[in-house]
Amino acid sequence: MSSSRREFIKTASVIAAGSVIHLNGLAAKGKRVAPNDRINVAMIGGNGMGWSDLESFLKNPEVECPALCDVDRNILNKRTDDLVKLGRPKPRLYVDYRNMLENKDIDVVIIGTPDHWHCLILCDSLEAGKSAYVEKPIGNSIAEINIMQNAVKKHGRIVQVGQWQRSQPHFADAMNYLRSGKLGRIRICKAWSYIDWKSAVPKVPDSPVPQGVDYKMWLGPAPMRPFNKNRFHHNWRWYWEYAGGELSDWGVHLIDYILYGMGKSVPDSVMAIGGKYAFPDDDMVTPDTMTAVYDFKDFSMIWEHTIGIGLGNWQRPHGMAYTGENGTLVLDRNGWQVFPEKQKIEAVPLQKNTGVGLDLHVRNFLDCLKNNTPNKLNADINIGRNVALVAQMGNIAYRTGERVFWNNEKQRFTTEPANKLITPLYNNGYKLPKY
């Protein structure tokens, strides 16, 4: 990257004539951007949200995509075709992200891999001088998320976490109402995810590695084991070695807004129950049904998830609720409304969603990158770390069968069974980064 481009990314402003350039005025196709103003964005992991993120980045005229990385060459070929259909030139293709990071022209990496890879890739990307957009949850263990937070602080790069609801207008409106005090003292909050489109994962035998897949690279620091398609694309999230199940997957989006709305970052204790109640004999390891109760000392938060049932609290498949002495505010991706307690306050009808949250989130990241304003990120590494910690605590309470108490100063639990789950064991020659 030329020195002029480096200077642009650090200092260039998107403010012109006193007004911000809004997303609605941006379209990647047909817009000419000076070479020194371009931002080169590379994608690592393109089978799910990594590709969705890149599509959103490419809606902005200053973004180019010179490189793609995935351990599955079939995905690389598919995404190359997708880029060509969007009118983009063919990118350079990589299987090992470390080779891609040697490309000095890459400014930003999108990290869309399974969770167990996030920590290593982010740390390596920062050391290579890249900024990053990393999918949630930021890591797959408490040790990893703390390392990632420290790494961002050390390197000072712009890092946005993919909790894009932080950029969605109706969520901000709901928070403004919540902080008005009209609900009165809030004593209980809920967050939930009920998924009726997800069914069992039938057990299948191990099989040969599919052609074009670097399976050892996919495993990375996870334990070595034979290839099984259940643990590969998409379904990896139901196995502890790679992810944290529904609580880590959907939970970080939803619990994030409980923490945000209540001004909290860490609970005093957590207890959790659940299990494989819907599909006891299938191949998933993480629970398909789970309830976790978090004690924040002055209020409690309840997390619920169930796979195979779609109608949750207030007849919403997912959402958050803040129950105060005067009423309850219910919020989800479709909108928010208020139900009064015995007519103590006025009801608020459904206030519908406006705007595309992911696009707005990416635009916020690009603006912060160009202005070198990490303090204006809508979901910085600290936000990502805090909610990932809460999700990890719930999973650890479930896995130990204990009510776990957290010492925030020591960053440890008060019992050893829980502490043993803080730091993952890296395998296959990989080492946990030190920050």
Could you tell me if 159 and 281 lie in one domain?
no
Claim to verify: residue 178 and residue 162 sit in the same structural domain = no
Burial class (CB in 10 A: 0-12, 13-18, 19+), 278: middle
- Domain presence at residue 297: yes
Task: Give the helix, strand, coil percentages of the chain, each rounded to 5.
Answer: 35, 20, 45
Number of domains in the chain: 2
Task: Give a yes or no: residue 185 inside a domain.
Answer: yes
Closest C-alpha to 389, from 375, 415, 408: 408
Torsion of CA 292, 421, 382, 67, to 10 degrees: -110
pLDDT confidence band for 424 (50 / 70 / 90): very high
**Are 125 and 217 in a shared domain?**
no
Are 114 and 172 found together in one domain? Answer: no
pLDDT, tens digit, 9 for 90 and up, residues 239-250: 999 999 999 999
Q: How far apart are CA 324 and CA 188, in angstroms?
A: 7
Q: Is residue 10 part of a domain?
A: yes
pLDDT, residue 37, reads: 81
Kindly state whether residues 215 and 350 are assigned to the same domain.
Answer: yes
Angle between helices 251-262 and 169-178 (to 10 degrees): 40
| Average pLDDT, integer, range 134-158 | 98
Asked if 175 and 70 sit in the same domain, the reply is no
Domain containing residue 161: CATH number: 3.40.50.720
The count of other CB atoms within 10 Å of the CB of residue 73 is: 15
- Name the one residue in this structure whose structure tokens are 């200077």: 7
Is residue 409 located within the same domain as residue 372? no
Query: How confident is the model at residue 33, as a pLDDT?
Result: 64
Residue 428 located in a structural domain: no
pLDDT digits (tens, 9 = 90+) for 180-202: 999 999 999 999 999 999 999 99
Question: Are residue 183 and residue 307 in the same domain, yes or no?
Answer: yes
433 is a domain residue: no
Does residue 14 fall inside a structural domain?
yes
Between 392 and 16, the more confident residue is: 392
Domain containing 315 — which CATH number? Answer: 3.30.360.10
Neighbour tally for 20: CB within 10 Å = 12
Are 162 and 182 within one domain? no
Residue 427 included in any domain:
no
112, 51 Cβ separation under 8 angstroms: yes
Asked whether residue 137 falls in the same domain as residue 232, the answer is no
Q: Closest Cα to residue 244, out of 399, 112, 363, 375?
A: 399
Same domain, 218 and 277: yes
Flag whether 46 is in a domain: yes
Tens of pLDDT, residue by residue over 80-126, are 999 999 999 999 999 999 999 999 999 999 999 999 999 999 999 99
Q: Range of 41's domain?
A: 3-166+358-379
Q: Report the relative pairing of strands 19-20 and 63-64 from DSSP bridges.
A: unpaired
pLDDT range class, residue 31, cuts 50, 70, 90: low
Give percent of the chain above pLDDT 90: 91
Is the domain of 283 the same as that of 173? yes
Residue 22 has pLDDT above 90, yes or no: no
